[in-house]
Chains A and B, each alone.
Chain A
């Protein structure tokens, strides 16, 4: 299978700030690559290079077989971009926004309108189609922006933090839309700060920090490096610790650790394990002060991979 996106040794500096520091990346056709990293890691800069918005200082990048420098015009016909801020026009209606993008892709009047109507349907915006975008919610704007990036049926799609700033419900909705989209075989490069998002949508994840890829693999491979889900339990009395430990031995997938009044139990299976654990503890009459399920986050990944927390990368930027 050919690679739809290839980067070799990309560098980009802004004054003394190094945004990209020899970034290498290959995304096979028809797959989803999640670019995971904190603010300032170089995610947006790399998307801007791939979409011809920014010329790299050195290195090469090819998208759909076309060079970002020498074949920029042809390349733009093949890609779709949805940026970090929904780049839709507030004073146009949803329909007018999509129609305008179609016209600028030179689809022609009729084809632009038909495509706009089709996308409004797909993205559940038919009722809002003739209202000004100014009155749209954040989630609706993002959906419209995503629709705009799909007007010309691009073979390679770039989504830069598609759910940042959305409330949890809109985020889930967005995930469903994206998941459906990539099921159709579009190559997708997705940047995100959320491990959960990359896990949900991407075939493979590249973790980037300070403008370089520091780890590459499937979500499971990365989580194995980090440690997966765990149950964190605090008991009222230290005398209950042994009881709790034996009660939870059945749900633990590896060694249970104890620290003060707290037990950490590696688990898998999500919320149902939590329910099961509480039932077991209740049966043994263990007095619980606090119990929760903890999933590995970007911070955990970073801590495991780099030894520093994700936020410190932002501070040094």
Chain B
């Protein structure tokens, strides 16, 4: 019991330290908000005209996809921060202290969750400005945001593994793009999967990002009249929760193992 309290306490100390950095260097969060806003404008007003979503406005369709992609980029801060801490020797200091082994990862994923909440708040306001509306209830919308954040948290742990594997923060940003781009574009985020060629379509239907996006659309009341055909999209909320559980069960132990190894390089 005391060890658990202590490791949570250590995690809070680390999370606070990371958030102080965000406060001191507001550019970080400014640019992580700017790029999804550009995506909203790009897809909403440039490409959107040529993407047909039967029975609904494209910009309402788009926002859930943008939200999902935004939290993935937000979660990639976890890996970037860890790679930087390793390079600067800060991790060595932490490892020579009698603190909980998991605290650096728990603290980092927690502070990045807080960042993501701030970013998604701004993105929601952006969405409202371009005509996106929630057509469901307050509680249903709240469940949608909660699901997004659970996914963001699980994805953070995956990005932690990448951040601990790469030799430097510079390599991390390229490496994380390799994951985020296919996962966020080969999905129902910006277009309907029904229009994809067969192999891509199967990938997109079983892509966890598609389940999350579909679930969030349902919870916000942003779905069109045509129901999806694939199982993970028909049962999107259930599939999302399953995906999140699987991601956490795989990523958390792998990340902790890799933390011990990376720090011992």
Contacts and interface: CB of A to CB of B under 8 A. Distances in A.
B264 A104 contact: no
A105 B98 contact: yes
Interface string A47-58: 010011111000
Nearest to B90: A87
B114 to A, nearest CB: 16
B93 A148 contact: yes
Given A83-B93, A87-B88, A89-B90, A73 B98 contact: yes
B17 to A, nearest CB: 6
For chain A, the bracket of interface size reads 20 to 34
Contacts of A105: 97-99
Interface stretch (A25-33, A74-82, A181-189, A275-283): A74-82
Given A100-B17, A104-B13, A132-B24, A53 B95 contact: yes
Most-contacted residue by chain B among A74, A85, A100 (CB, 10 A)? A100
Contact of A53 (B98, B103, B263): B263
A77 B6 CA distance: 15
B103 to A, nearest CB: 8
A7 interface: no
Contacts of B13: 100, 103-104
Contact of B98 (A83, A92, A106): A106
Given A96-B20, A106-B98, A55 B92 contact: no
Interface SS majority for chain B: helix
Interface in A25-73: 48, 51-55, 73
A73 B3 CA distance: 12
A85 B88 contact: yes
Given A104-B13, A104-B99, A106-B6, A85 B20 contact: no
Interface residues of B, number: 23
B17 A84 contact: no
A87 B89 contact: yes
A288 interface: no
B60 interface: no
A265 B99 CA distance: 56
B96 interface: yes
A81 B93 contact: yes
A89 B98 contact: no
Contacts of A73: 98
A91 B21 contact: yes
10 contacts: A51-B96, A55-B264, A81-B92, A92-B20, A100-B17, A103-B10, A104-B10, A105-B97, A105-B99, A132-B24
